[in-house]
Amino acid sequence: MALPTLAVVGATGAVGGVLCELLTSRKNVWGEIRLVASARSAGTVVSVRGQPLTVVELTPEVFDGVDVAMFDVPDDVALEWAPIAAERGAIVVDNSGAFRMEPDVPLVVPEINPEQVHHRPRGIISSPNCTTLAMIVAIGALHREYELCELVVASYQAASGAGQHGIETLLDQVQKVAGDRAVGSRAGNLRQAIGDDLGPFPAPLVLNVVPWAGSLREAGWSSEELKVRNETRKILGLPHLKVSATCVRVPVVTGHSLAIHAVFRSEVDAERARDVLAHTRGVVVVDDPGAGEYPMPADAVGTDPTWVGRIRRALDDPQALDLFVTGDNLRKGAALNTVQIGELVAASLDR
């Protein structure tokens, strides 16, 4: 039986590079693999499973004969090209925000709602935002146990969430302030040290915390905050779930984290919740404060699971849990979830 053909669109980006690494390290379910990018990146050679593959330019013809197309491109590119790929016969797995909230496009996390990959009337499946993915596997497990009714979260989002430009901006800022012990000691001198080039961020990120991620939406909310609410509702099938999020950018290269206050319909027990999470696929529990063991992005970076700790019942509500989660936003937060969806689709194909 012939293995399905895969196209990776956006193969030379930050997430695309991780996606190619995952295709190399995971069980091979693919036959031909085509790497696709803009004309600027066409001709680049990338190794996948030990084979040098030449990146080709994005055109309609590259999707001829393709069974699954994984997209990691900006929203506007996905809006234009995902339908073209689907028209050419490919099943699209899209990592952008272009289709996530469309009612006829499933939003899939394989650990939670894998059955949704079969309901794709437009030939497109969406993968959630990296901030949502940092928490949703753990929250989904707790929802199955206790029935979730409310979430209040604060995110701590890494520079890489803004792409390669975000990473380079943070590292450049680190170089500019390194060795200057006066930086940050007086109002305004951090911005003076950084200069005018803030990259994709609205303020200096190094030695700072910026309470903003995304673009401005109604009533002062950011797009990232609304994604956490709307995507969580759709994935869990809870359209009226109460969710309040505050998204914060922190000077971490890779690894999104969230502090979570989750309210359930039944009384919770921290030890039972810890056991549930410890037996959840895709979750690692790191929770021994007495020994200084907490889930931190510095440890989670480069790994696939969601790391969970600081699990405790709320002080004033027996039906609420407080916990802290972190994960590599370029892996499970983007590339890994896309690959997992693609593997589910590949397994379902009648070839």
Q: Report whether 341 contacts 95 (CB < 8 A).
A: no
What DSSP element (H or E) covers 83? helix 75-87
Q: How far is CA 17 from the centre of its chain?
A: 15
CA-to-CA distance for 279 and 344, rounded, in angstroms? 22
Q: From 258, 246, 337, select the one nearest 297 (Cα to Cα).
A: 258
Q: How far is CA 221 from the centre of its chain?
A: 20
Q: Is 130 a catalytic residue?
A: yes
Find the catalytic residue in 130, 143, 149, 247: 130
Distances (CA, A) of 51 to 33, 54, 77, 218, 257: 10, 10, 28, 48, 35
Single-letter residue type at 91: I
Q: In the beta sheet, which residues pair with residue 263?
A: 150, 320
Q: Which residues, other chains included, contact 215 with Cβ-Cβ below 8 Å and sequence gap of 6+? A: 222, 223
CA-to-CA distance for 11 and 15, rounded, in angstroms? 8
The 10 Å Cβ neighbour count of residue 251 is 17
Find the catalytic residue in 20, 143, 247, 256: 256
What DSSP element (H or E) covers 258? strand 256-264
Q: Determine phi and psi for 347, rounding to 5 degrees.
A: -70, -25
Q: Which residues, other chains included, contact 140 with Cβ-Cβ below 8 Å and sequence gap of 6+? A: 109, 111, 112, 235, 236
Q: Determine phi and psi for 250, rounding to 5 degrees.
A: -125, 160
The strand order across the sheet containing 68-71 reads 56-57, 33-37, 6-9, 68-71, 91-94, 124-126
Q: Report whether 42 contacts 56 (CB < 8 A).
A: yes
Catalytic positions are 130, 256
